[in-house]
Structure 1
Amino acid sequence: MIRTVLGDVDELGVTNSHDHLFLASRVLPGQELDDVEAAFLELQRFHDTGGQAVVQWTPLGMHRRLDALPDLSRRSDVTIVAATGLHQAQHYEPEWLAKTLPRLEELFVEDITQRRTGLIKVAGGFHGLDPHAVHTMTAAARAHHTTGVPVAVHLELGTAALDVLDLLCGKLDVPPHRVVLGHLNRFPDPWVQDRVASAGIFLAFDGPSRAHHATDWTMPGTLTRLADAGFASQLLLGGDTTTVAARGVPGMSYLVTHLRPRLDPELAAQIFVANPTRAFG
């Protein structure tokens, strides 16, 4: 079953596997995604082009608006999967972080069991894992073992994928098929992609967006290459809009109207429908 903001379901349909309806960070002043009606319009456009589900990766302390998501899901007829978890330390006020870090596992489990969140979002560092990342991922792994929900990882500029694999799946015993790595398209190294895919991890390619524009053009070819290598059942695709300036440009609907037609129909069905149901189940 997949935990959504309106309850558990057994399938998602055509899915945007990584995006943000709401998000705020101290490192992005003035760029907050906090407009409920703007979020509704984005969901409505996505629905009108055939989209059926959105996975929001916004974690604890970043204005994820769990209160607004159920009504948005009902109004738009789009299934929404929300996240618990914690991002890099830079995104939070030090005082809030100091009070939150000792309770992470407890907070993650409470979110999943009481607030209908369906994934645990954590983050690595640039080409490595700092003590904050190790602490956060350790709490995420423990919460995963308690609840069974997947762990989704922000890779900083697409790096440190193998470090995450070693920690989460090696030392912390999270099954690889319960891990989703985001932003691998930002550091499109085929050797790294093949290594993590061979381990059984889900690979979430997040674009098109302004943040990923430099490597967006490589994504369709990368997806096809990985599928031909036998990893079609592990590929996911999302938009990852993170700032108000990027909202609607090109928007969630672009995934369905422009990217899906570029893929082999059978591969597109796996990436947009079959794989998200298994990844977030």
Structure 2
Amino acid sequence: MAIFTIDIGGTKCAVGVGDAGSITDLVSWPTEIGGPQHTLDKVTQQFNAFINNGHTFQAVGVCFGGPVNYATNTVYTSVHKAGWDEFNFGTWSNTQLGLPIAIDNDANIGALAEYHFGGYENPESLLYVTISTGIGAGLVINGSLLHGFRNSAGELGHIRITDEPLECQCGRLGCFERVCSGAWLERTHGRPAEVLLAEDAFLSTYAENLARGFADAVLLYNPEVIVIGGGISNAGPRLLERVRITLKKELGSWAHLMPRIEISTLGPSGVHLGAMELARGLL
């Protein structure tokens, strides 16, 4: 029997079938405005289509693009899409799907996927940083996610990396996300991130800003591996090379803590692999 995987992001949603360490039957669509109803109606329809095609499921794993309480399967708040605040996925799954469910944010899900399927040979610790509409991080230590007291560990996007009075959507000034996320890059500079990062001069400055945020994470967590995911990771080897150089400089006398840094190679199935691994913990 398989795991039904769900990804609910700021720009797209997707479902899939997770079984035997792989994901099949991925179906995706643009995230709709208006909260859970329209999105979950489509999820339920696709679940029923999978059942009608002969799939059987043991549990559900959900990747959600925002802060969640994984212990209660509840969304804290949705920063990028309205209407999801305090939504309880446990109640929904029990009513609509009749299956146990596990939910976590996209960064934690990504970290699980990279730790188990990224090919890093079971590192002692792995920090996954997703840089897309926003910025988030997930940390796996000896196979277990670090959730924190309020299930909110990893809000790396909201550490301060500049003294410039740049107001973030969260209300703080100078946030990592405010400076480096894809959405804020486009708002600030008037062009999409992929266009901006194609320019060497901009890429160099951007890598310096990334290194400031990563340096704080290295000093706090001392990870063995940092994996960069999300839309910004499409900048590929050019970005990776600059970040490796600038992070070592940024760490200065702490350069001996320099982790291995890589770009995620799991592709669109990555979050579904993580959601599958999360749900396996219910079995």
User: Taking structure 2 as the reference length, what is the TM-score of the superposition?
Assistant: 0.33
User: Taking structure 1 as the reference length, what is the TM-score of the superposition?
Assistant: 0.33
Identify, as 1 or 2, the structure richer in strand: 2
